[in-house]
Structure 1
Amino acid sequence: MVWVLLLVLAAVVLGIIGAVAKGLLYLLVIGFVVFALALLLSAVRLRRAGRRPSR
């Protein structure tokens, strides 16, 4: 869960820098990609945690 939070934080920071700094729009795109990766990772982890182990 810590990795997901760090990825979201990194996405926010990259997005802010990419939106504010002129000529660094690619950082905004990278921020979106990192945010999507964090959402995907958390969805996979939640899906696995919901299953009960088979006996």
Structure 2
Amino acid sequence: MIVLGIILLVIGLVAGISILWTIGIILVVIGAILWILGAVGREVGGRRHYW
């Protein structure tokens, strides 16, 4: 999810499409939150890992 967000950020920046930039930021933030929660051992959605 973080990688997809970064890809969308780059495409949105290069192409000048603001919606891709916004979606990319949202995906990076959500991916980082899920990664941090999984790293500290907290279950996310009933699973130890969110994938």
Structure number with larger C-alpha Rg: 1
Query: Which structure 1 segments of 5+ residues have no match?
Result: 1-6, 50-55
Aligned-residue RMSD, C-alpha: 1.3
TM-score by length of 2: 0.71
What's the % identity of the aligned pairs?
21
TM-score by length of 1: 0.67
Quote how far apart the aligned CAs of 1:12 are: 1.1
Structure with a larger share of its residues in helix: 1
Query: Which structure 2 segments of 5+ residues have no match?
Result: 43-51
Return the structure number with greater relative CO, CA threshold 8 A, min gap 6: 1
